C-alpha cells in the first residue's frame, strides 16, 4: 500500500514519515465511521488533540494544551475566518465543511508561525478537499442521529456534483447542505441548556480553469447561514428569575481566487481570498447580545525552487481585519499585518534531511516579530524514523482584547469585560523529539514536547471581585500571564492481529502549569487515551468498538474526575453505496453525574446513521 503524503508541514507534498513535523492524518475512510457534526468531531480521537468546550455545548480544537484560539484552521492551505476570536462561544470556522468532500485532514502539532504566521501558536489543522476530475460525479449524503433521551436529534443532508465543463480545460464543483440538531436540556434543570441547538445551510461553488499546461486559475465562493439557540435562567438585571431563549445568527461569505504556475524547477502560487461574518442575536426576555461584523481580506503568494532533492520556498502575505461592534465605543476597529517568509528543506544525506525556516511579521499595532523554525529527520533504517526540532509561535491580541474602548456588558453572564491597550502578543517557544517504527504488521511512535508560552492572554477580575459577581459592578479585564509551561508525551500504535482484525491506540499525557505560581492551568486534561478494535467481517463490512478516556483536570482549584466514552459502529460499502450505523456514548456518560463542577456536557447516548450514494 502506498504511504500517505502530506503537504501542511512544508506547503508541498512529502511522505508522512519524512514530514519535518509531528503530523496526524484523518482519512476519508476514518471519517466514514464517525458521527460527524463539524470539524471538531472529526479530530476527537486524534493524539495530542483535546476537543474543548467554548460555551453552550459548542466545541473548539486545542492542540498540546494550547487554547482553541491558538489553533489555525486551513482549507486547502487557505486561512479560515478568525471571526470566532471576536465573538463569544462561536466556532464558525469549524462549520459548513461537508465531510463527503474531504480527502483527508492533516493535523500539525506544535507552532507553525514560521510558515503560516499569527494564530499557528499551538498547531495547524488543514482540511484537504477532493480534487475535481474530468468525469462527472455526483453524490447524495444523509446522516443523522436520535438521542435516547434529552433531545438533541439531528439530521444532515448534502448534495454535490463535479466534473468537466470543457474536457481537460474547465471544471466545476457545486455543493449544498443543510444540518439541524435540536437543543439538549440539562437533566437536573430544564431551564438550562447542555448543548445548544444548531441549524446550518450552505452553498459552495468552485471553478477550475486550465489556462495552459503550466497555469491554473481557481475560483471559490461559499455562502452560509448558521443559527444557534439555547435556554437559560436570567439570574440578575432585567428579567431576573425568568427563562429566556437566546438565538444567534451567523451569515458568512467566503471567496478565493488562486493562480498556480508549474514552471521548470519552479512552482508559484498567488491568492486573493477573504471572508465576511455577521453575527446578530435576539432573546425572548432581556437585552440581546451585541451584534458583530468581521471582514477579513488576505493576499499571499509564494514560489518554490526545486533542485534535486532540495526545496527553497519564498513568500509573503498581507492580511487586514475590520470589526464593527457596539462593544467598541468608536463602533469600529481594524488591524493589518504583513509578512515575508523563507524556508529551505535540504537532503543532507540519503537518511538525513534538515529544514530551516523563518518569518518576519509586521503588525500595525506591535511592529516586527521574528518566528524561526528548525527540524531534523533521520531515517537510519527502512523501519525507523527519528525526528526533532524547535519552533516558535506568535499570536497578536484581537481588536477587542487590545482596545481600551472595548466594553462588553454582561448579557447572560454576571460580569463585564474590558480591553487592555497594554497587552503583548502571545509567544510559544516549543521543542519536540520523536521516534517511530513501522513494521509490516505493526507500528508505534513516541513524541516528547515542551511548550514555553510567554504573555498568555487570560481574563482576570479587576473590580468588584469580592462577593457574588454582578453586571455593572464586577469587571474582568484581559491580562497577560508572564509564563506558562506545558510539556507532555504522545504515544500511538497500530497492530494487525489477523488479516481482518486490527487495533489502533493512542495516549496523551499533559502537564500544564503557570510558570510563576506552579499552579495547574484549568481545563487541561492530564491524560487522554483512545483504543479501537476493528474487524473486517466481510469485504464490504467493517465493524469497530472504541473507547475514549479523558483524564482528571482542574477547575476553580478543584479536581474534575476522569471519564470514558464507548462507541460502536458498523460500516457497509458496496459499489456506489456506503452506509454506517452506530451508537455514540454507549453507556450514556453524563458528566454532572460524576461531578457537579463540570460546566459543560458531552453528547448523550444516541443511535446514528449515515448513507451515501454516488452516481
**Residue 140's pLDDT is what?**
94
237: helix, coil or strand? coil
Taking the C-alpha atoms of residue 485 and residue 499, their distance in angstroms, rounded to an integer, is: 44
pLDDT tens for each residue of 483-492 = 889 999 999 9
| Average per-residue pLDDT for the chain | 90
Contact between residue 143 and residue 421 where contact means Cβ atoms under 8 Å apart: no
**Residue 36's pLDDT is what?**
77
Taking the C-alpha atoms of residue 519 and residue 486, their distance in angstroms, rounded to an integer, is: 12
How many CB atoms sit inside 10 A of residue 594's CB? 13
**Residue 1's pLDDT is what?**
46
Parallel/antiparallel/unpaired status of strands 154-166 and 137-147? antiparallel
Taking the C-alpha atoms of residue 294 and residue 79, their distance in angstroms, rounded to an integer, is: 15
**Residue 468's pLDDT is what?**
66
Element (H, E) at 59: strand 58-63
Residue 579, all three cell numbers: 452506509
Element (H, E) at 612: strand 606-614
For the chain, how many residues are written?
615
Q: Which residue has the cell 455514540?
A: 584
Contact between residue 199 and residue 180 where contact means Cβ atoms under 8 Å apart: yes
Per residue, the 3-state secondary structure of 491-528, as one string, reads EEEEEECCCCEEEEEEEEEEEEEECCCCCECCCCCCEE
How many CB atoms sit inside 10 A of residue 514's CB? 16
Q: Could you please report the per-residue DSSP string of 21-35?
A: SEEEEEEHHHHTTS-
Task: Please identify every stretch of the chain with a pLDDT value under 50, giving residue numbers as ranges.
Answer: 1
Taking the C-alpha atoms of residue 268 and residue 270, their distance in angstroms, rounded to an integer, is: 7
Residue 101, all three cell numbers: 468532500
**Residue 237's pLDDT is what?**
63
Contact between residue 442 and residue 493 where contact means Cβ atoms under 8 Å apart: yes
- Listed as own residue / partner, the contacts of 591-600 with beta carbons closer than 8 Å and 24 or more positions apart are 591/563, 592/186, 592/187, 592/188, 594/560, 594/561, 594/563, 595/560, 595/561, 597/555, 597/556, 597/558, 597/560, 598/555, 598/560, 599/53, 599/555, 600/53, 600/57, 600/194
Query: What are residue 290's phi and psi, to 5 degrees?
Result: -65, 140
Amino acid at each position: 500500500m502506498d504511504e500517505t503524503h502530506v503537504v501542511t508541514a512544508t506547503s508541498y507534498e512529502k511522505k508522512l514519515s519524512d514530514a519535518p513535523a509531528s503530523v496526524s492524518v484523518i482519512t476519508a475512510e476514518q471519517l466514514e465511521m464517525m458521527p460527524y457534526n463539524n470539524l471538531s468531531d472529526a479530530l476527537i480521537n486524534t493524539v495530542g488533540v483535546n476537543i474543548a468546550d467554548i460555551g453552550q455545548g459548542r466545541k473548539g480544537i486545542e492542540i498540546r494544551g494550547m487554547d482553541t484560539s491558538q489553533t489555525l484552521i486551513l482549507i486547502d492551505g487557505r486561512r479560515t475566518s478568525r471571526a470566532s476570536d471576536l465573538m463569544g462561544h462561536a466556532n464558525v470556522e469549524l462549520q459548513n465543511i461537508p465531510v463527503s468532500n474531504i480527502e483527508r485532514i492533516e493535523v500539525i502539532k506544535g507552532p507553525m508561525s514560521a510558515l503560516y504566521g499569527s494564530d499557528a501558536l499551538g498547531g495547524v489543522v488543514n482540511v484537504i478537499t477532493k480534487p475535481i476530475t474530468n468525469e462527472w460525479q455526483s453524490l447524495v449524503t444523509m446522516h443523522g442521529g436520535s438521542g435516547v433521551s434529552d433531545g438533541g436529534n439531528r439530521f444532515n443532508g448534502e448534495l454535490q456534483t463535479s466534473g468537466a465543463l470543457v474536457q481537460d480545460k474547465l471544471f466545476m464543483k457545486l455543493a449544498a447542505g443543510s444540518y439541524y440538531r435540536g437543543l439538549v436540556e440539562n437533566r437536573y434543570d430544564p431551564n438550562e441548556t447542555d448543548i445548544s441547538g444548531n441549524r446550518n445551510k450552505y452553498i459552495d461553488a468552485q471553478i477550475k480553469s486550465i489556462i495552459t499546461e503550466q497555469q491554473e486559475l481557481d475560483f471559490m465562493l461559499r455562502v452560509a447561514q448558521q443559527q444557534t439557540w439555547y435556554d437559560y435562567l436570567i439570574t440578575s438585571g432585567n428579567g431576573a428569575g425568568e427563562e429566556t431563549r437566546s438565538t444567534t445568527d451567523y451569515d458568512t461569505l467566503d471567496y478565493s481566487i488562486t493562480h498556480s504556475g508549474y514552471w521548470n524547477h519552479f512552482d508559484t502560487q498567488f491568492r486573493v481570498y477573504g471572508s465576511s461574518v455577521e453575527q446578530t442575536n435576539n432573546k425572548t426576555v432581556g437585552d440581546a447580545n451585541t451584534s458583530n461584523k468581521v471582514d477579513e481580506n488576505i493576499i499571499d503568494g509564494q514560489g518554490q525552487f526545486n533542485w534535486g532533492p532540495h526545496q527553497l520556498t519564498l513568500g509573503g502575505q498581507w492580511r487586514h481585519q475590520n470589526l464593527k461592534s457596539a462593544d467598541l465605543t468608536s463602533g469600529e476597529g481594524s488591524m493589518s499585518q504583513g509578512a515575508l517568509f523563507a524556508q529551505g528543506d535540504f537532503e543532507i544525506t540519503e537518511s538525513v534531511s534538515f529544514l530551516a525556516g523563518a518569518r518576519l511579521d509586521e503588525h500595525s499595532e506591535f511592529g516586527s516579530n521574528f518566528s524561526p523554525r528548525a527540524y531534523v529527520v533521520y531515517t537510519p533504517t527502512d523501519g525507523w524514523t527519528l525526528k526533532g526540532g524547535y519552533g516558535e509561535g506568535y499570536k497578536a491580541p484581537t481588536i477587542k482584547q487590545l482596545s481600551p474602548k472595548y466594553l462588553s456588558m454582561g448579557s447572560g453572564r454576571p460580569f463585564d469585560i474590558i480591553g487592555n491597550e497594554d497587552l503583548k502578543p502571545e509567544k510559544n517557544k516549543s521543542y519536540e523529539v520523536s521516534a517511530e517504527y513501522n513494521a509490516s504488521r505493526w507500528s508505534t511512535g513516541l513524541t516528547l514536547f515542551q511548550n514555553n508560552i510567554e504573555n498568555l492572554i487570560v481574563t482576570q477580575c479587576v473590580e468588584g471581585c469580592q462577593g457574588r459577581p454582578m453586571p455593572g459592578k464586577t469587571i474582568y479585564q484581559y491580562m497577560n500571564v508572564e509564563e506558562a509551561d506545558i510539556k507532555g508525551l504522545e504515544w500511538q500504535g497500530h497492530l494487525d492481529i489477523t488479516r481482518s482484525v486490527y487495533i489502533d491506540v493512542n495516549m496523551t499525557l499533559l502537564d500544564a502549569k503557570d510558570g510563576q505560581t506552579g499552579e495547574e492551568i484549568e481545563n487541561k486534561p492530564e491524560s487522554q487515551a483512545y483504543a479501537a478494535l476493528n474487524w473486517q467481517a466481510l469485504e464490504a463490512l467493517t465493524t469497530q468498538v472504541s473507547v475514549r478516556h479523558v483524564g482528571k483536570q482542574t477547575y476553580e482549584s478543584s479536581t474534575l474526575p476522569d471519564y470514558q466514552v464507548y462507541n460502536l459502529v458498523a460500516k457497509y460499502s458496496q459499489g456506489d453505496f456506503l452506509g454506517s450505523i452506530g451508537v455514540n456514548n454507549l453507556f450514556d456518560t453524563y458528566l454532572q453525574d460524576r461531578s457537579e463542577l463540570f460546566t459543560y456536557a458531552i453528547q448523550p447516548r444516541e443511535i446514528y446513521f449515515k448513507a451515501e450514494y454516488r452516481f
